[in-house]
Amino acid sequence: MLIVDDSSVMRKIVERSLRQAGIELGQVFEAGNGIEALAVLNERSVSLILCDINMPAMDGLEFVKQLPNVGNAKSVPVVMITTEGSEGHVVQALSAGARGYIRKPFTADQVKEHILPVLAGNQ
């Protein structure tokens, strides 16, 4: 699993929420922006990417658009976790290739509700 957020505190909260939700994480990688995330994916394989939108250097939407160019990550599902919660942002993210969308602030139950279907391939 790869967690992409420019806030290290938020990366820890996301990871903790996933554990609280009982989701099997495997090895967890972290990145502070889209460029760092692409670098991680060039070296590692992950089963799920959780990604913020507002980040410096490369934001989450651009990262999702770049993802098909990364050989071993093109089919990895991405779920956005962001404060940008408007309908337009959701549509933008899903159009760019994201498979789910979680608004901050969130609960562990909300994380579970959005992540499990994605992991099960139901979305």
Give the nearer residue to other proteins in terms of CB position, either 21 or 70. Answer: 21
Q: Residue length, the chain?
A: 123
- Contact between 103 and 85 (Cβ < 8 Å): yes
The site for other proteins (CB under 8 A) is made up of 6-10, 12-13, 16, 54-56, 82-89, 103-107
Q: How far is the CB of 106 from other proteins (least distance, A)?
A: 6
Give the nearer residue to other proteins in terms of CB position, either 61 or 73. Answer: 61
Number of H helices, E strands in the chain: 5, 5
HSE-up (13 A, CA, CB side) for residue 92: 13
Q: How far is the CB of 121 from other proteins (least distance, A)?
A: 28
CA distance 17 to 3: 12
Give the nearer residue to other proteins in terms of CB position, either 17 or 73. Answer: 17
Q: How far is the CB of 105 from other proteins (least distance, A)?
A: 4
Give the nearer residue to other proteins in terms of CB position, either 49 or 55. Answer: 55
In the numeric block, which tokens belong to residue 84? Answer: 């940008």
Nearest to 80 by CA among 71, 69, 91: 91
